Amino acid sequence: MDTPAPAPPEPPALRVLRIALLGILAISAALLLSLVLATYSAALRYGISDLLGVPFSSHHFRGVSEVTIAAILVGPVLVMATGFLFLAWALRQTSWRRVALGYAVLAGILSFLARDEPAFTHPFTFLSPAEATPEARESFSLFMRYGRHEALGRDFQEPTFTEPYPKWNAVETATWRADVLAHRADFASHASALAPALAWWRDLDRFSQIGDLTPPDPESDIPAFQVLRALSHQALGAASLLAIDGRGDEAVDTVLPLLTVSLKLQPDSRTLVRTMIAIVIERLSLETTGFILDTAPVSPAARARLLAAVKGGDPVPGARRLVGGFDYAFMQVSLGSKSAGELFTYYDSRSTHPWLRAVMNAASPVLYNPKATFNAYGRLVGDQQDLAATRDYAGMEARNAAFLATDAAPRPKNFIGRLMLRSMVPAYVNVTKNYWRTEDLRAALTKRLEAPAAITGSRP
* pTM over 0.85, yes/no: no
379-407 pLDDT, tens digit per residue, is 999 899 999 999 999 999 999 999 999 99
Average pLDDT over residues 133-152: 95
What is the mean predicted confidence (pLDDT) over 99-126? 91
Which has the higher per-residue pLDDT, 57 or 98?
Answer: 98
The whole-number pLDDT of residue 456 equals 43
Taking the C-alpha atoms of residue 431 and residue 276, their distance in angstroms, rounded to an integer, is 8
The candidate with the shortest Cα–Cα distance to 45, out of 418, 351, 401, is 418
Q: Answer yes or no: is pLDDT of 455 > 50.
A: no
Mean pLDDT of 336-356: 68
| 58-67, 277-286, 314-323: segment of lowest average pLDDT | 58-67
Percentage of residues in the chain with pLDDT exceeding 90? 59
Inter-CA distances, 275 with 196, 218, 257, Å: 23, 17, 17
Averaged pLDDT of the chain: 87
Asked if residue 429 has pLDDT above 50, the reply is yes
pLDDT of residue 25: 94
Average pLDDT on 240-260 reads: 97
In tens, the pLDDT along 194-231 reads 999 999 999 999 999 999 998 877 778 899 999 999 99
Model confidence at 123, pLDDT cuts 50, 70, 90, reads confident
pLDDT at site 9: 80
pLDDT of residue 270: 86
Q: How confident is the model at residue 459 (pLDDT cuts 50, 70, 90)?
A: very low
Q: Determine the pLDDT at residue 212.
A: 92
Sequence spans of domains, the chain: 12-114, 129-310+432-450, 327-426
Of 12-16, 98-102, 140-144, 192-196, give the lowest mean pLDDT range. 12-16
Share of the chain above pLDDT 70, in %: 91
